[in-house]
Chains A and B, each alone.
Chain A
Amino acid sequence: MRRTILFLSLLLAAPAIRTADAGDALVVIVHPSRKDMPRRAEIARIFLLQRRFWSSGEAIVPVNRESGSEDRETFSRLVIGRSSTDLAAYWNEQYFQGVFPPLTLSSDASVKRYVASEAGAIGYIDEAQADDTVRVILKLR
């Protein structure tokens, strides 16, 4: 009986018990030297490759997480307002124009490393992963 009550109590409490990074916000990051502060809509246009250059004239290099990742879907819905599935037709049309989707990397660490080393890059990672090697320009929940 005691075990049953314990089991049921923990089962109800389980959704609130999270690992360290669950529940963290996503942050959009750029190289520390980058002074631009694009708004959310401009960031969306960047990742749709409709805006391709920083104010300095340098080419923007957007970096996505891999298709199907939770961060990729969260970013796509919160910033672009559509899921990556919904964007498939858009990227087909872009391919027809000789335009290819942004670069993808498969971990926060690799995104951070890339953005920290590439002056034109912009990406997104878990807030907990951000440090002074990159500059946070937008926080998403």
Chain B
Amino acid sequence: MIHLLDLILVFSLLLLPNSRAGAMQGPDAGQPATESTAVGDKTLVDLPSAIGAIQYEPGRGLRVGNTGLTLGGYTGVGIERPEGGPATAALDDLSLFVTYRPVARLHLFSELEEEDLLRVDDHGRGGTNAQKFAVERLYGAFTVSDGLELRFGQFLTPVGRWNVIHAQPLVWTTSRPLTTLVGFDTHTTGVVVQGALLDDSSLAYAVYSQFLNTVAPPHEEVVSAKHTAGARAEYSWLSGASIGASYLAQRLSNEWEHVAGIDAAWRASRIELSSEAIVGVPNGPRSRQWGGYVQCAWSIGGGLWTVLRYEHFDQRAPQREINLVVPALAYRPTPYTIFKLEYVFADHRNDTSPAGFLTSFSLLF
């Protein structure tokens, strides 16, 4: 005889949460509950207007209706204490991205930067005197096909990986490898032809040339080339691995120099490996310089990552070769914010990447 309680038991169990056969669990399966989840479509502001919805998404910018215009950027604050020097707190660069895509094949982009907004040392010296406006990037691009895009303007020189993604919210350390900064002009003002080849678009290429002066270069630009011609190829796997090779010929003063580089990266859920190496061989009497780094970042849970980088840089004579080791901690409470804490150990003095303590917070907005 079936009782009411039996029916209640049956229906209660029928309503238990069930899962798709073989289905994936949620995005944080197997990870601590505090692990950050992916964003990219979490709109914070959504206001109707005559030109379409005005939407803001953290880390993805402000979409101005249906105009094709998006505003975004990044900023950061940091403290550094080089060995033997005063501690300095800084409100670093404020970068504004202006993206305009009126149609699928046309892309206009600029990154405008206000550098060194505020810098104060531990004696209270400093202020806003060092503020400088810079144009990081300013270009227009027309896409003919997946394999062919023409870009004209000022853009980041496609040598290696770090230079084209060097923004503080995108990299694991506040300090930057010398290999990615000292060997070549980090900005190119001219034209680039680029695209993705092969049936699955796994091979990306770029061929570029500089024949114009850089517009308002950023302060961290160490090398300034008068003319440049170069190329890059990168093969990527869907698993997150990629390898690349770069070459450029740059004219510094009245002398040409050839720079070649290779790079590799692999990114998985809880670990990221990256490495780059370059060599610069001048035509004239100046000496060769070369360098490379290997970096590993691994997740220890809760959005916390440990990072370790080793770099060797054989600078142009009479400067000495230098070895740098950077252990760091990085904390990502969300995918578009990052706190960093690191110490740069160096066996010789170097002004571009001095030994000492650094910490920073940066975010994409």
Using a CB–CB distance below 8 Å, which chain A residues touch chain B? 3, 6-7, 10-11, 13-15, 17-19, 22-24, 39, 41-42, 44-45, 50-53, 57, 59, 64, 66-68, 70, 73-74, 77-78, 80-93, 95-98, 100-101, 104, 141
Contact = CB atoms under 8 A, between A and B. Distances in A.
B170 A92 contact: yes
B81 interface: no
A89 B242 CA distance: 15
B26 A70 contact: yes
Interface of B: 3, 5-6, 9-10, 13-14, 16, 18-28, 35-42, 59-61, 70, 72, 97, 99, 101, 104-105, 107, 109, 143, 145-146, 165, 167, 169-170, 196, 199-202, 204, 238-240, 267-269, 272, 335-336, 364
Contact of A73 (B26, B35, B70): B26
For the complex of A and B, list the 7 residue pairs with the smallest distance between their C-beta atoms, beginning with the closest. Answer: A59-B104, A88-B335, A84-B38, A104-B41, A98-B99, A101-B40, A98-B109
A67 B269 CA distance: 17
User: Which of B5, B27, B196, B199 is the most central at the interface, judged by chain A CB atoms within 10 Å of its CB?
Assistant: B27
A88 B167 contact: no
A82 to B, nearest CB: 6
Contacts of B199: 42
Describe B's contact surface by its main secondary structure.
loop
B69 to A, nearest CB: 11
A100 B43 CA distance: 13
Given A17-B18, A39-B200, A53 B145 contact: yes
Contacts of A101: 40-41, 60
Contacts of A51: 146, 196, 200-201
